[in-house]
Chain A
């Protein structure tokens, strides 16, 4: 039944967006980290979405759901902070800090939360239609 698979797609959309939210929150939480478990400063992470074909028609048209294809680390240069008193400072007195841009992260978070809400609304509409069909 297509309504059920439509609900699955909406669910996939929600889980993809919540992964994006989690990544963004992790970036924000580590915005001021100067080191991590690997010994190097935290690098901003970004999630990659990819369309995943659910069904393919004979004429090549695909019905796509969404999946997370992976997480990549941002290549923007690390921030240098002048903190001579910091034990992690280099001989010149500079500490490398994470390359998270908090403003960018906040915008990303808003965008992810709006996209999540859109998927929830769509799921609600699908649910209403399904209930109406059942009560025929």
Chain B
């Protein structure tokens, strides 16, 4: 159970880091020569699972430039619509992790309190 909470905790930390990268894309949506970035969640999560405790390590190392997004005349490759969808997806994934972590906490609390029920 504790391992579950750590697992979802790491996933949530990484989703928050991803939200940070996506927000920085959105803030730079009209900056000339800015290129869209995103966190490579799969690689970052695989590395985070190897780390002891609740640490996720340096997530910025797994941040990559987005491939395939068209570059505008001012050298900017951010598509505001695409970034909004990515933010929504990431927030949804983060909420799912929160639900699962909440469930793990709940079942642990139930296990602790069982003696008082019977």
Contact = CB atoms under 8 A, between A and B. Distances in A.
Given A6-B24, A50-B31, 8 more contacts: A2-B16, A6-B23, A16-B27, A61-B63, A61-B64, A62-B60, A126-B23, A129-B16
Given A51-B34, A61-B60, A125-B91, A9 B101 contact: no
Interface of A: 1-3, 5-7, 9-10, 12-13, 16-17, 20, 48-51, 54-59, 61-66, 111-112, 114-115, 118-119, 121-122, 125-126, 128-129, 132-133, 136
A122 B26 contact: yes
B30 A49 contact: yes
Given A3-B20, A9-B20, A119 B27 contact: yes
A63 B27 contact: no
B63 A63 contact: yes
Given A6-B23, A122-B26, A128 B101 contact: no
B80 interface: yes
Contacts of A16: 27
Interface string B16-30: 110111111011111
Given A49-B32, A122-B26, A3 B16 contact: yes
B105 A136 contact: yes
B27 A13 contact: yes
Interface of B: 12-13, 15-17, 19-24, 26-32, 34, 37, 58-61, 63-64, 80, 83-84, 87-88, 91, 94-95, 98, 101-102, 105
A114 B105 CA distance: 41
Contacts of B83: 118
Given A6-B19, A122-B87, A64 B30 contact: no
Nearest to B31: A49
Q: 8 closest A-B pairs (Cβ-Cβ)? A: A13-B27, A57-B60, A6-B20, A49-B31, A66-B27, A2-B16, A6-B23, A2-B20
A133 B28 contact: no
A76 to B, nearest CB: 18
Contacts of B17: 2
Contacts of A65: 24, 27-28
A129 B91 contact: yes
A129 B105 contact: no
